[in-house]
Amino acid sequence: MIFKKKNNTAAINEFNQEIAGNSLTKDAWRRLRKNKMAVISLVVVIIYILLAVLAPILPIYPYDEIILDHQHLPPSFTKNAGELLMEKRLADLYTQAWRQGNLELTEEEDDMLWEWIDSNEVNKVWDYMYEKGNAMVAEGSYTLSSYEQRRIDSLEEDIRTELQITLKDVWYRADSGSERVKLTSLDTDEILAAYAQLVNISAEDQKTQYMKEIEQQVLREIKERTPDLSDEEYEILLNQEFNDMSESRLNTLIRSNVLVKLNNAIRSVGLRNLKDAAEDGTMEFPLEEEISISETISATIKASKVHERQYYLGTDYQGRDMLSRIIYGGQVSIAIGFVGTITSVLIGIILGALAGYLGGKVDYIIMRIVDIMYGLPYMLLVIIAMAIFGRNILNLFFALAIISWLTVSRMVRGQIMSLKNQEFIEAARSMGAPTRRIIFKHLVPNSLSVIIVFSTLRIPSFIMTESFLSFLGLGVQAPFASWGSLVGDGVTGMTLYPWKLFFPALVMTIFLFAMNFLGDGLRDAFDPQSKNQL
Amino acid sequence: MSEKEIKKPLLQVRDLKQHFPIEAGFIMKKQVGAVRAVDGISFDVNEGETLGIVGESGCGKSTTIRSISQLYTPTSGSVVYNGLDLIKAKREELLDARKNMQMIFQDPYASLDPRMTVRTIIAEPLEIYKKRRMLEPQMSKKDIEDRVEELMERVGLNRAFKNRYPHEFSGGQRQRIGIARALALNPKIILADEPVSALDVSIQSQILNLLHDLQEELGLTYLFIAHDLAVIEYISTRVAVMYLGKIMELSRSSDLYKNPLHPYTKALLSAAPIPDPVIERKRQRIILTGDVPSPNVERVGCYFYDRCPYKMEKCKTNIPPMKKVDEHHEVACWLYE
């Protein structure tokens, strides 16, 4: 049975000892445990799944946070982003100085460097120049020019002071005596007043400002809805829209508009205050505390120094953390592997079982459909489906599922055809068991071992397909990531930034290996004839 | 087992035919012939008796039983149980009648689902009829549990084995599980399809004794198939001899073994060895010539004509009807006209 109920009445033998049944599944599990590779693989798979599931609560940076300063930082366990940036800046300056002839090297070194440049090994040049330049500055044979010194100082300044802040809550206090309340709990008029007070503009100006902006916003929406009209027509549509607009809708528009502006204002004020503090060194970062913005408004702000970040697996071309992208990408890839397999196995079991058990015309029709779908090129169908239904993860699931049940259904059909003439099926029929019961209580559980093995071997192939589609740009779209799309992104510039390709590929390979070993292990475990070999 | 009172027939089989079509053609299937596995047989099974069916391999014994229990849809004829023709019966009525008609299967290894525990296997008929709300009276989970244990004790299995799987049992024990399953619904008649032929001899006698005891305790009726003449002699009240889908001779067991009438029965009995070397050496064996003819062709004469040592001109074109020789003895042969 697929979901076996626990028997609460324990069997007792004549010596009053409890007797436990020894099921085929238990037997298989025992044999699986003897297979070292399979157990290791099982652990690896479980770790992967845990990481993917727990990704939101892991202490990693958001996978879609773009920090353009941090483009293409190499992986490092010891240096944080600021130090890496400084290295990069210095290497850059030394190299430039050498190219302009300010920094003189021996002839052999020149030849070596030019050779590297010719063979596109720029990383080596930078590394060498960084080491060499530092050494020369230290021994005094090269002095930095004032321009170079300025650039280094400005970077240092940035590293020290650049902050990343997130606004957690905004508080409002009408006067010093009263209780503070969340700004979002106030009504629109009060928010308007608070904003006017903060940026010091008259209510009249404020109104014209936000009305103009809302008008723009609505116009944009109309243009999206009905493109290719003349300006006059848009004018008419816009007026119509405003006439039709209800009081409450206008109210929410105003509210959201002002809230966004208010938050931006608070953020900039808060950033200014904290930056001063960072420059003075009066505050320790990272911090999370309430900062008063004006007499009436205060905000809980979380702030950290941007350049103190650590990227263990480097960053990608938009300065996003590769580690968190790989973990979140794993989420998508593993989900596609499992969901795709489960849907395809479910469809396959039901159709295969019906075809196999009922036989005759039903079998003929189902199997001809399978044959026809087999005849169509698999990838082409997926690509067409993705092109028609749009590129998102759900459609990817859908496209993979509709095509991948074919093999399962054929396999299940074969299994069930060989089982259905067994006497125990005849026995069930003679007891008056309905077809549904025969299929789902007798036939499917008996072919389950084959199905389980097939499914585990199927998961990697789903992940591969998804990766292939993502590699082609048909799969997951940025900012979402999957292993396939990460590899696809990593291929561009793979000589300069090899970590962008290496880590996702490595992670994916390990998972696929583990899945395949696990599948092999399961196949051996479920095969009674391999009993003696283990 | 005694014939003190006259028993009314529990199951009447009349002119039962089971033909399996032979199809040819690529997409448009066309029937080009039929395997006449069972070709018009009639008999009654009386309450409380054991009717044994005996015959060589391929003579249609198992098909007969499967047709009676409606595992196959018979081609024609009627199977009347308790006044209800099962072939024409509605699904509900059929299920209700089937409650009283359970099967025991030949192979104790194949007839139990390897994925189910003994408890689940024995309780399965109860569960099925409980789900269909045809169980009288309705049983709770606890009742079913108790019933399973009771059945296990009754067939001689330790109830502690309830949660074990079939592969942990020996052949004899498995057959006991099969018998317990057949008894679960309190059936009136049990169709036993060679229940002992897959077991070794010592186990055979245990199972036969078990069946015998159960019959006495529960008042069961058996329709019992075997190809072993000794087994049939031991268990049966009456015996039907089948050949090529036809009944050749039907008689009380004692009469048949003492006084076989049909040439085929004679040959069959003479093929069985006698466990006494002196008699065995002296006796004259009847050796049949030729093979069993194909059941695919429709026959116009006696089914045994091709191999009969006493064949006559009449036999070639006329199918002999069942003829009552005496009150309990019927034979289908022109010799006794």
Q: Give residue A204's identity as a one-letter amino acid code.
A: E
Q: Does B174 touch chain A (CB under 8 A)?
A: no
- Is A19 in Cβ contact with B110 (below 8 Å)? no
Q: Give me the pLDDT at residue B121, please.
A: 93
Which residues lie across from B247 on neighbouring strands? B242
Q: Give me the pLDDT at residue B207, please.
A: 92
CB pairs under 8 A between A and B: 98
Closest CB from A9, A22, A448 relative to B168: A22
Which residue of chain B comes nearest to A25, CA vs CA?
Answer: B115
Question: What CA–CA distance (Å, rounded) separates A448 from A25?
Answer: 10
- Is A430 in Cβ contact with B160 (below 8 Å)? no
- Beta carbons of B245 and B298 less than 8 angstroms apart: no
Calculate ∠ Cα A103-A121-A506, nearest 5°: 135
Closest CA to B108 of B216, B206, B230: B206
- What is the SS3 assignment for B59? coil
Q: How many CB atoms lie within 10 A of CB A15?
A: 7
Q: Give me the pLDDT at residue A4, please.
A: 46
DSSP for A207-238? HHHHHHHHHHHHHHHHHHHS-S--HHHHHHHH
Q: Over 80: is that where the pLDDT of A2 sits?
A: no
For residue A410, give both structure tokens: 């054929």
For residue A213, give both structure tokens: 């902006």
Best of B79, B113, B197 to disrupt the A interface by mutation (most A CBs within 10 Å)? B113
Question: What CA–CA distance (Å, rounded) separates A373 from A405?
Answer: 10
How many secondary structure helices (H) and strands (E) does chain A include?
19, 6
Q: Give me the pLDDT at residue B138, please.
A: 82
- Beta carbons of B198 and B108 less than 8 angstroms apart: yes
Query: Mean of the per-residue pLDDT values for chain A?
Result: 83
Which residues lie across from B222 on neighbouring strands? B50, B190
DSSP for B65-87? HHHHTTSS--SEEEEEETTEETT
Percent of chain A whose pLDDT exceeds 90:
16
Q: Does B198 touch chain A (CB under 8 A)?
A: no
Q: Give me the pLDDT at residue A532, please.
A: 44
Q: Over 80: is that where the pLDDT of A324 sits?
A: yes
Closest CB from B69, B110, B168 relative to A424: B110
Closest CA to B335 of B327, B258, B326, B323: B323
- Is A427 in Cβ contact with B114 (below 8 Å)? no
Q: Give me the pLDDT at residue A266, please.
A: 83
Q: Over 80: is that where the pLDDT of A407 sits?
A: yes
Question: What CA–CA distance (Å, rounded) separates B316 from A5?
Answer: 63
Judge residue B159's burial from the number of C-beta atoms within 10 Å of its C-beta, 0-12 exposed, 13-18 middle, 19 or more buried: middle
A77: left (phi over 0), alpha (psi -120 to 50) or beta: alpha
The 3-class SS string of B273-304 reads CCCCHHHHHHCCCCCCCCCCCCCCCCCCCCCC
Q: Give me the pLDDT at residue B1, please.
A: 43
Question: What CA–CA distance (Å, rounded) separates A522 from A450?
Answer: 9
Best of A6, A13, A423 to disrupt the B interface by mutation (most B CBs within 10 Å)? A423
More confident of the two residues A110 and A20: A110
Question: Which pairing describes strands B101-104 and B189-193: parallel, antiparallel, or unpaired?
Answer: parallel
3-state helix, strand, coil in chain B (%, to 5): 35, 25, 40
Question: What CA–CA distance (Å, rounded) separates B248 from B264?
Answer: 8
Q: Does B336 touch chain A (CB under 8 A)?
A: no
Q: Give me the pLDDT at residue A8, please.
A: 45
- Beta carbons of B250 and B53 less than 8 angstroms apart: no
Q: Going by C-beta distance under 8 Å and a sequence separation of 6 or more, which residues neighbour residue A96?
A: none
Closest CA to A406 of A375, A376, A361, A374: A374
For residue B154, give both structure tokens: 């009754």
Q: Over 50: is that where the pLDDT of A534 sits?
A: no
Question: Which positions in chain B touch A19 (Cβ < 8 Å)?
Answer: 160-161, 163-164
Q: Give me the pLDDT at residue A292, please.
A: 76
Could you report the per-residue pLDDT of A3-54, keeping only the tens digit for each? 444 444 555 566 666 656 566 677 788 888 888 999 999 999 999 999 999 9
Q: Over 50: is that where the pLDDT of A88 sits?
A: yes
Q: Give me the pLDDT at residue A17, please.
A: 64
Which residues lie across from A19 on neighbouring strands? A11
Question: What CA–CA distance (Å, rounded) separates B177 from B171?
Answer: 10
A190-194: which pairs have CB atoms within 8 A and are 24 or more residues apart?
A191/A255, A191/A258, A191/A259, A191/A262, A192/A254, A192/A258, A194/A262, A194/A296, A194/A297
Question: What CA–CA distance (Å, rounded) separates A88 from B210?
Answer: 91
Q: Give me the pLDDT at residue A136, please.
A: 86
Question: Which positions in chain B touch A24 (Cβ < 8 Å)?
Answer: 114-115, 165, 167
Calculate ∠ Cα B41-B42-B48, nearest 5°: 130
Question: What CA–CA distance (Å, rounded) separates B44 from B29?
Answer: 37
Q: Give me the pLDDT at residue B6, please.
A: 55
Question: What CA–CA distance (Å, rounded) separates B224 from B231?
Answer: 10
A287: left (phi over 0), alpha (psi -120 to 50) or beta: beta
Question: Which positions in chain A touch B128 (Cβ < 8 Å)?
Answer: 431-434, 437
Total-model pTM: 0.75
Could you report the per-residue pLDDT of A148-203, keeping only the tens digit for each? 888 888 888 888 878 877 777 888 877 766 777 787 777 777 788 778 877 777 77
Q: How confident is the model at residue A533 (pLDDT cuts 50, 70, 90)?
A: very low
Query: What values do phi and psi take at B242, rounded to 5?
Result: -110, 145
Question: What CA–CA distance (Å, rounded) separates A262 from A198?
Answer: 8
Q: Tell me the ipTM for this assembly.
A: 0.87
Tell me the CATH number for domain A322-530.
1.10.3720.10
The 3-class SS string of A288-350 reads EEEEECCCCEEEEEEEEEHHHCCCCCCECCCCCEHHHHHHHHHHHHHHHHHHHHHHHHHHHHH
Calculate ∠ Cα A198-A199-A205, nearest 5°: 120
3-state helix, strand, coil in chain A (%, to 5): 70, 5, 25
Lowest mean pLDDT segment, chosen from A295-299, A307-311, B4-8: B4-8
How many secondary structure helices (H) and strands (E) does chain B include?
11, 12
Per-domain residue ranges for chain A?
76-161, 163-308, 322-530
Could you report the per-residue pLDDT of A463-475, keeping only the tens digit for each? 888 888 888 877 7
Contact residues of A toward B, CB < 8 A: 1, 7, 9-14, 19-24, 422-424, 426-434, 437, 442, 445-446, 448
- Is B168 in Cβ contact with A1 (below 8 Å)? no
Q: Does B163 touch chain A (CB under 8 A)?
A: yes
Closest CB from B113, B145, B164 relative to A424: B113
The nearest CA of chain B is from the CA of A36 a distance in Å of 27
Question: What CA–CA distance (Å, rounded) separates B308 from B244?
Answer: 13
- Is B158 in Cβ contact with A14 (below 8 Å)? yes
Q: What is the DSSP letter of A10?
A: -
Q: Give me the pLDDT at residue A7, please.
A: 47
Tens-binned pLDDT, residue by residue, of chain B (337 aa)? 444 455 678 899 999 999 998 888 777 778 888 899 998 899 999 988 999 999 888 888 999 999 998 988 899 999 999 888 998 889 888 888 888 999 999 888 889 988 888 999 999 999 999 988 888 778 888 999 999 999 999 999 988 888 888 888 888 999 999 999 999 999 999 999 999 988 888 899 999 999 999 999 999 999 999 888 889 989 999 999 999 999 999 999 888 888 899 999 998 888 888 888 888 888 888 888 888 888 888 888 898 888 888 888 888 888 998 888 888 899 998 888 7
Question: Which positions in chain B touch A423 (Cβ < 8 Å)?
Answer: 105-107, 110-111
A175-178: which pairs have CB atoms within 8 A and are 24 or more residues apart?
A175/A296
Q: Going by C-beta distance under 8 Å and a sequence separation of 6 or more, which residues neighbour residue A152?
A: A86, A89, A90, A93, A144
Helices B171-183 and B141-154: crossing angle in degrees, nearest 10, is 130
- Is A11 in Cβ contact with B105 (below 8 Å)? no
